[in-house]
Chain A
Amino acid sequence: MTATPAKTGPVTSVARNRTVRQYVARVLFAVLMTLVGVLFALPMVWLVLAPFDATPTLSLEWPDWTLDNFARLAENPYALRSIGNSLILGVGTMVIVVGLGALAAYAMSRIRIPGRDGILYALLLLSSIVTGTAAMVPTFQIITQLGLINNYVGVLLVLAGGILPTVIFILKDFMDSIPKSYEESARLYGAGPFRILRDVVAPIARPGLAFISIWTIVQVWGNFLVPFILLRSPDLQPAAVLMYTFYTESGQADLRLISTFALLFSAPVLIIYFVVNRRYGFRFHGGIKS
């Protein structure tokens, strides 16, 4: 006991030194992270401020507040329609992808096929080619042969084909985690496969389906290449392609239109996300087995 007071002096000063060093390290870390954060936030701030600036430039500055840009955008005959077109393409692809993806993933999850995982991985790898640049010429030729150029059916087919493998891959994982006894139980009461999918599997895989829906819409919303190549008429173009046409007469990018349109362009995706998240929620009902 007598040795304790003698020892506390150096111990506490060492401890104090350590706390000071920790404190400084944390402050430095916070400052660094703030700088990185600001760097990432700058484009977002530009996205929000530039549309309200009478003369937006590529640099970030306090706007000369005005709503003229929105009025000008409303005068453009294609701008609002293109947002609608994007919605049609996004929702259309989503319906195809979620419908077919759920069926395929369920089958893939429950039926034993030799080399099943190999098939899935191969599809996943190949899918990045379908919507990618490399396959654009053959894709264009196929769609031309099918007579589906300048037709939403063609765009939907190509987009859905490119997205489906990833969707099947993700959904299969969700369905693998659903205990088989749920379905067997339903089967014993006389439910067929579609009935089981609807009553048991789909509700339990709902968070997965909700995620896939949003993800698909976001993918289609931002896709430029496929609709750009397969659609001809300006009044069919989705927003991502239309933005490409906003130039002034002198060939300069029209930043007033582009910034305003960009803000409008990003809004629906955010709204969809919040609505779906509220409506379906990313909850997961696990199995009960203790």
Chain B
Amino acid sequence: MAGITATQLVKEYPGGVRGVDEVDVEIRDGEFFALLGPSGCGKTTLLRSIAGLEAITSGSLVIGDRDVTNAEPGVRGVAMVFQDYALFPHMDVGDNIAYPLRIKRVKRDERRGTAAKVADGLSLQGLIERRPGQLSGGQQQRVALARAVATRPDVLLLDEPLSNLDARLRLEARTFLKELQRDLGVTTVFVTHDQAEALALADRIAVMRAGKLQQIGTPREVFQRPNNTFVAGFIGSNPMNLLPAQVRESRLAVGDATVSLPPGTEQLVREGQDVVWGIRPEYVRWVTAEEAGAIPAEVSVVENLGASVLIVVNAGDRKLQVAVPEDQEPAPGDRGWIVPQLSKTLLFDAETTERIG
């Protein structure tokens, strides 16, 4: 078991493109840690740098109490599950799981014994003799996991572990992964582009963009207090409403409407400052009678989400998304008012995109 500390980690490709750009991150022992970001943000490169599959350009990487910046992948005590699982097609399940032990020159009987034990733990009984090609996607994933944990690694790395499974299986596998990680207590880093997956699984999340870290925090922290507009827009199943606004007389002018400043930000802004006002669709109410703090609006699009409805409203010249309970569903063209929940509103600097409060 070991924690991971990356200091000023840089991975530069030939041509000067930085896949990972001065990343500082400390992953604690036994933590379930998510690297989250859109495709091409460097999250997989960072994972592969931790594994040792990418040479680190500068900075340092410590796993446990050993500096492994330039160490070979095989001596880092890490195991990795690849996105395509990378199961060897010419070996049966047992040999696949036991392959790491074969490299460590463990005897064949002992190897098969360990493989069978690990396979049992991952409910792969009776599949030991099968070839990977004869397994379902979920089974293949469990074989890949079994192979990774068979050597009792210090660190387990998962590259998009759920992306090759179909939607229903993915939820099952998610629960399964979380249980497995808790049982083994192994430090686990996984890469995903799905914010819901990261929120559901991880103890802490690092949000990345263009090789740079945007924020590290618990799922609750990145959801409630995003560091900047990028994180605010990326986290959440419905992206946060981010509207350009201006500070005027200790209030906020959003288009034609004015709203109160988020609580506690009065001292942090100056008159006339350009800001971005953020509010999640879930924290806006749709009402049909005017009340204090309400902004008049007209419904333009209605999207059914099952238990709730996502409506797009035009408030003056601004567009907002509002999540409405299913029994209050309005029709396109309806006029009414939207009421933001003030304590949940956020303010970002329009220039730096950093959160003000």
The reply to whether the CB of A288 lies closer than 8 angstroms to some CB of chain B is yes
Q: Quick one: which of B87, B103, B133 contacts A190, CB cutoff 8 A?
A: B103
Q: Does B151 contact A (CB under 8 A)?
A: yes
Given contacts A181-B82, A289-B164, A290-B137, contact A186 B89 (CB under 8 A): no
Task: Judge whether A1 is part of the interface by a CB distance below 8 angstroms.
Answer: no
Q: Which residues of B contact A191 (CB under 8 A)?
A: 74, 103
Task: Check if B90 sits within 8 Å of A184, measured CB to CB.
Answer: no
Which of A188, A204, A290 has a CB less than 8 Å from the CB of B80? A188
- A182–B86 touching, CB < 8 Å: yes
Beta-carbon contacts under 8 Å, B258-296 to A: none
For chain A residues 46-77, which have a beta carbon within 8 Å of chain B? none
Residues of A with C-beta under 8 A to B82? 181, 184-185
A195-219 CB mask vs B (1 if < 8 Å, else 0) is 1000110011010000000000000
Please determine whether B75 and A190 come into contact, CB atoms closer than 8 angstroms: yes
Q: What chain B residues lie within 8 Å of A185 (beta carbons)?
A: 80, 82, 86, 147
Q: State the Cβ distance, B163 to closest chain A Cβ, in Å.
A: 10
A181 partner residues in chain B, CB cutoff 8 A: 82-84, 86
User: Contact at A288–B140, with CB atoms within 8 Å?
Assistant: yes
Q: How large is the interface on A (under 10, 10 to 19, 20 to 34, 35 or more residues)?
A: 20 to 34
Give every chain A residue within 8 A of B164 (Cβ-Cβ).
289-290
Kindly state whether residue A278 has any CB partner on chain B within 8 Å: no
Is A7 close to B, CB under 8 A?
Answer: no
Interface presence of A147 (CB below 8 A): no
What's the least CB distance linking A112 to chain B, in Å? Answer: 9
Do the beta carbons of A182 and B103 come within 8 Å of each other?
no
Give the nearest-CB partner of B82 in chain A.
A181
Q: What sequence of 0s and 1s flags, for each residue 156-198 of chain A, a beta carbon within 8 Å of any chain B beta carbon?
A: 0000000000000000000000010110111111110001000
**Per-position 1/0 for B64-102, Cβ under 8 A of A:** 000000001111001110111111111000000001101
Q: In this assembly, does B196 line the interface, its C-beta being within 8 Å of a C-beta of chain A?
A: no
Note all chain B residues with C-beta closer than 8 A to A188: 51-53, 73-74, 78-80
Given A288-B133, A289-B164, A290-B137, decide whether A187 and B53 contact each other with a Cβ distance below 8 A: yes
Establish whether residues B78 and A288, one from each chain, have CB atoms under 8 Å apart when the complex forms: no
User: Is A187 a contact partner of B88 (Cβ separation < 8 A)?
Assistant: no
Would B104 and A190 count as touching, CB distance under 8 A? yes
Task: Please report which residues of chain B, range 32-86, place their CB below 8 angstroms from some CB of chain A when the two chains form the complex.
Answer: 51-53, 72-75, 78-80, 82-86
- The CA of A206 and the CA of B89, in the complex, are separated in Å by 12
Q: Nearest B residue to A206 by beta-carbon distance? A: B90
> A182-B86, A285-B89 in contact; A187/B132 too (CB < 8 A)?
no
Would you give the shortest CB distance from B17 to chain A, in whole angstroms? 16
The residues of B that contact A187 with a CB separation of less than 8 Å are 53, 73-74
Q: Give the complex CA separation of A290 and B84 in angstroms.
A: 8
B-chain residues with CB within 8 Å of residue A206 when the two chains form the complex: 90
Q: Which residues of B contact A37 (CB under 8 A)?
A: none
Which chain A positions have C-beta within 8 A of B84? 179, 181, 287-289
Tell me how far the C-beta of B146 lies from the nearest C-beta in chain A, rounded to whole angstroms.
13
Indicate the member of B75, B86, B99, B102 with the most A CB atoms within 10 Å.
B86
Cβ–Cβ < 8 Å partners of B72 in chain A: 190
Identity of the chain A residue whose Cβ is nearest the Cβ of B164 in the assembled complex: A290
- Whether, in the assembled complex, A10 has its beta carbon less than 8 Å from a beta carbon of chain B, the answer is no
A184 to B137 CA separation, bound complex (whole angstroms): 21
Provide the bound-state CA to CA distance between A290 and B137, in Å.
8
Q: How far is the CB of B15 from chain A (nearest CB, A)?
A: 13
A285, B133: Cβ atoms under 8 Å? Answer: yes
Question: Pick the contact of A189 from B53, B85, B89, B100 — CB < 8 Å?
Answer: B100
Are B103 and A195 touching (Cβ within 8 A)? yes
Q: Does A286 contact B (CB under 8 A)?
A: yes
Contacts of A186 in B (CB 8 A): 99, 103
CB distance from B166 to the nearest CB of A (A): 9
User: In whole Å, how far is A282's beta carbon from the nearest beta carbon of chain B?
Assistant: 14
Chain A residues with Cβ below 8 Å from B151 are: 189
Enumerate A210-258 residues with CB–CB distance to B below 8 Å: none
Report chain B residues within 8 Å CB of A195. Answer: 103
Task: Tell me which residues across on chain A come within 8 A of B87, comparing CB atoms.
Answer: 288
A285 → B minimal CB distance (Å):
4
From known contacts A187-B53, A189-B103, infer whether A204 and B89 are also in contact, taking CB-CB under 8 Å: yes
- What separation, in Å, do the CA atoms of A234 and B132 have in the docked complex? 54
CA distance A199 to B151 in the complex (A): 18
A289 and B84 alpha carbons, distance in the complex (Å): 5
Measured between alpha carbons, how far is A188 from B75 in the docked complex, in Å? 8
A190 to chain B, nearest CB (A): 3
Asked if residues A190 and B90 are in contact (CB atoms below 8 Å), the reply is: no
Q: Which residues of A lie under 8 Å from residue B132 when comparing CB positions? A: 288
Interface string of A257-290 (1 = CB under 8 A from B): 0000000000000000000000000000111111
Residues of B within 8 A of A200 (CB): 88
Could you tell me if B85 and A288 are in contact, using CB atoms closer than 8 angstroms?
Answer: yes
Q: How many Å lie between the Cα of A199 and that of B147 in the bound state?
A: 16
Closest chain A CB from B92 CB (angstroms): 12
Give A114 Cβ to nearest chain B Cβ, in Å.
Answer: 11
> What are the residues of chain B within 8 A of A189 when measuring CB–CB?
74, 79, 99-100, 103-104, 151
A-B contact pairs, 7 of them (CB 8 A): A181-B86, A182-B86, A186-B103, A199-B99, A203-B88, A285-B89, A285-B90
A-B complex: 6 closest residue pairs judged by Cβ atoms: A190-B74, A285-B89, A189-B100, A181-B86, A289-B84, A185-B86
> Which residue numbers of A lie inside 8 Å of B, CB to CB?
179, 181-182, 184-191, 195, 199-200, 203-204, 206, 285-290
List 19 extra interface pairs beyond A182-B86, A184-B86, A286-B89, CB under 8 A: A179-B84, A179-B86, A184-B53, A185-B82, A188-B73, A188-B80, A189-B74, A190-B75, A190-B103, A199-B88, A199-B102, A206-B90, A285-B89, A285-B90, A288-B84, A288-B89, A289-B83, A289-B84, A290-B137
